[in-house]
């Protein structure tokens, strides 16, 4: 049986393939340390677990989600944005809940691209940006993220022809995989560039609440004119340690929000109602647990950065995210090094080439293990390098 040819346009996600391989290694008795999984090992706060438990037990909460008004959830999202970022959003026209931000980053291409339209996608970046654009029939143009530019896109290096053809540009800060951050000067330039070229900005920002040493990442909408030119994706997954709950949001430009609502009216029937209840509780509730969680992530960051530097790798100390972006040793491609380390000392790190051409020469580590386990991984790497 023949499937659609569009499936030949992109690769399957390496994370899924590697989970199968790592599971097999464990079944063979190997003590694998998986530093590739970007899923926090902290549980959701206890009050949210209790809220979810009670909501699931209510027999009236199991109809089609569209049976219920999602206005309270939209209002909770808008209220959180106002308190966290000082941004006023209209809950009805500028907010839409998502079944995790991953749903939004796939469907947004159907909303913005006609067949043959160009999407500007950073390189390196989360692979699903490219896959989503190609599934929608779009053409992908890569925008390099280079160390010398702080892993920010050089907007002036985008040719006039590329800008003329582009319908959308992906931006993701704090960044996965590089852990880079962006500031006011960059966002103001981006807004002016997008307005000049009539390009929609899609800002993917699920890591704003994982940050260190007093740094507080911004929302795209904190800067004048942003909602005229773009939208922003956010999520409870990383903020509230609940990746499996699939609770996200898209915010911003009214025309894009309306288009996404039309698509979603066919694509799904809304968020499971108990999840709406617990999402409202999260967004309206205390966030003091984040301080201690971030302190632990910072401690883990320092252990890994020091361990990598001791074996001679070049690595920064990120201000946000739970990722480390490091060079690989000379003489290896990123895949050669990561797979050799896996085979010899059972530590898995993601090759930077998985994230694009300009990810070659790097690797990504997720800080989603206790500090003792990360220290052991660094010891194994030291042994491998000696």
Please name which of 299, 361, 281 lies closest in space to residue 328, comparing C-alpha atoms: 361
DSSP string, 206-263: TTTTSB-TT--PPPGGGSTTHHHHEEEEEESTTTTT-GGG--EEEEE-HHHHHHHHHH
Tens of pLDDT, residues 314-369:
999 999 999 999 999 999 999 999 999 999 999 999 999 999 999 999 999 999 99
Write down which residue in 263, 284, 305 finishes a domain: 284
For 152-176, b/e burial (b = at least 16 CB within 10 A) is bbebeebeeebbebbbbbbbbbbbb
Cβ contacts of 60-68, under 8 Å, gap ≥ 24: 61/273, 61/274, 61/277, 62/273, 63/273, 64/269, 64/270, 65/269, 65/270, 65/271, 65/272, 65/273, 65/276, 66/269, 66/270, 67/273, 68/270, 68/273, 68/276
Judged against a pLDDT cut of 80, whether residue 56 lies above it is answered with yes
Task: Tell me what pLDDT residue 6 has.
Answer: 83
In a shared domain, residues 201 and 79: yes
Q: Any idea what the CATH number is for the domain that residue 362 is in?
A: 3.90.1150.10
In a shared domain, residues 294 and 233: no
In a shared domain, residues 207 and 120: yes
In a shared domain, residues 19 and 125: no
Mean pLDDT of 270-294: 96
How, if at all, do strands 230-235 and 248-252 pair? antiparallel
In a shared domain, residues 154 and 168: yes
Tens of pLDDT, residues 170-185:
999 999 999 999 999 9
Kindly list the strands in the beta sheet with 118-123, ordered across the sheet, starting from the edge strand earlier in the chain.
Answer: 95-98, 248-252, 230-235, 200-204, 166-171, 118-123, 139-144
% of the chain beyond a pLDDT of 70: 99
Q: What six digits make up the tokens of 353?
A: 């080439």
Give me the domain span that covers residue 215: 46-284
Judged against a pLDDT cut of 80, whether residue 17 lies above it is answered with no
Task: Tell me what pLDDT residue 386 has.
Answer: 82
Q: What six digits make up the tokens of 362?
A: 């790097």
Write down which residue in 284, 304, 332 finishes a domain: 284
Task: Count the neighbouring beta carbons within 10 Å of the beta carbon of residue 321.
Answer: 29
In a shared domain, residues 124 and 223: yes
Judged against a pLDDT cut of 80, whether residue 11 lies above it is answered with no
Tens of pLDDT, residues 96-145:
999 999 999 999 999 999 999 999 999 999 999 999 999 999 999 999 99
Mean pLDDT score across all residues of the chain: 95
C-alpha dihedral over 70, 73, 75, 81, to 10 degrees? -140
Task: Tell me what pLDDT residue 14 has.
Answer: 66
Residue position matching structure tokens 């790190």:
349
Whole-prediction pTM:
0.95
Confidence of residue 79 (pLDDT cuts 50, 70, 90): very high
In a shared domain, residues 15 and 50: no
Q: Any idea what the CATH number is for the domain that residue 127 is in?
A: 3.40.640.10
* Count, residues in the chain: 386
Lowest mean pLDDT among 8-17, 51-60, 275-284: 8-17
% of the chain beyond a pLDDT of 90: 91
Task: Tell me what pLDDT residue 148 has.
Answer: 97
Write down which residue in 262, 284, 306 finishes a domain: 284
Task: Tell me what pLDDT residue 307 has.
Answer: 97
In a shared domain, residues 171 and 240: yes
C-alpha to C-alpha distance for 239 and 76, rounded to whole angstroms: 15
In a shared domain, residues 188 and 75: yes
In a shared domain, residues 10 and 78: no
Q: What six digits make up the tokens of 332?
A: 């290896």
Q: What six digits make up the tokens of 358?
A: 């300009």
Number of domains in the chain: 2
Please name which of 343, 340, 365, 341 lies closest in space to residue 352, comparing C-alpha atoms: 365
Task: Tell me what pLDDT residue 374 has.
Answer: 98
Helices (H), 2-45: 14-27
In a shared domain, residues 264 and 320: no
Tens of pLDDT, residues 189-217:
999 999 999 999 999 999 999 999 999 99
In a shared domain, residues 155 and 69: yes
Task: Tell me what pLDDT residue 73 has.
Answer: 98
- Cα dist from 237 to 41, 133, 134, 168, 382, whole Å: 12, 23, 26, 25, 33
Q: Residue 31 burial by CB count (10 A; 0-12/13-18/19+): exposed, middle or buried?
A: exposed
């Amino acid at each position: 049986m023949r499937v659609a040819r569009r499936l030949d346009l992109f690769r399957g996600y390496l994370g899924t393939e590697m989970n199968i391989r790592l599971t097999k290694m464990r079944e063979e008795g190997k003590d694998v340390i998986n530093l590739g999984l970007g899923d926090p090992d902290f549980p959701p706060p206890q009050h949210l677990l209790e809220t979810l438990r009670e909501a699931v037990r209510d027999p009236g909460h199991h109809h089609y989600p569209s049976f219920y008004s999602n206005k309270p959830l939209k209002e909770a999202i808008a209220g959180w944005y106002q308190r966290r970022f000082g941004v006023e959003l209209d809950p009805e026209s500028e907010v839409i809940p998502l079944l995790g931000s991953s749903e939004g980053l796939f469907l947004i291409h159907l909303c913005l691209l006609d067949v043959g339209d160009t999407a500007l996608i950073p390189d390196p970046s989360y692979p699903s940006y490219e896959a989503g654009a190609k599934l929608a029939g779009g053409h992908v143009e890569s925008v390099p993220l280079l160390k010398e530019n702080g892993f920010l896109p050089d907007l002036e290096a985008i040719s006039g022809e590329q800008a003329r053809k582009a319908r959308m540009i992906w931006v993701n800060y704090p960044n996965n995989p590089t852990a880079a951050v962006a500031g006011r000067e960059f966002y103001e330039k981006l807004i002016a560039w997008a307005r000049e070229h009539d390009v929609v900005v899609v800002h993917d920002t699920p890591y704003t609440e994982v940050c260190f040493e007093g740094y507080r990442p911004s929302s795209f909408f904190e800067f004048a004119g942003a909602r005229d030119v773009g939208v922003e994706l956010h999520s409870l997954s990383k903020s509230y340690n609940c990746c499996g709950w699939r609770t996200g949001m898209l915010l911003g430009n009214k025309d894009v929000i309306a288009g996404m609502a039309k698509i979603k009216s066919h694509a799904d029937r809304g968020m499971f109602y108990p999840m709406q209840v617990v999402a409202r509780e999260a967004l309206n509730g205390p966030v003091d647990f984040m301080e201690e969680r971030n302190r632990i992530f910072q401690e883990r960051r320092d252990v890994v950065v020091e361990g990598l530097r001791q074996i001679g790798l070049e690595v920064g100390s990120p201000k946000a995210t739970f990722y480390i972006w490091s060079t690989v040793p000379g003489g290896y491609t990123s895949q050669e090094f990561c797979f050799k380390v896996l085979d010899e000392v059972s530590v898995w790190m993601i090759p930077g080439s998985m994230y694009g051409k300009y990810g070659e020469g790097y690797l990504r580590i997720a800080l989603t293990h206790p500090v003792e386990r990360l220290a052991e991984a660094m010891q194994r790497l030291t042994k491998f390098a000696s």
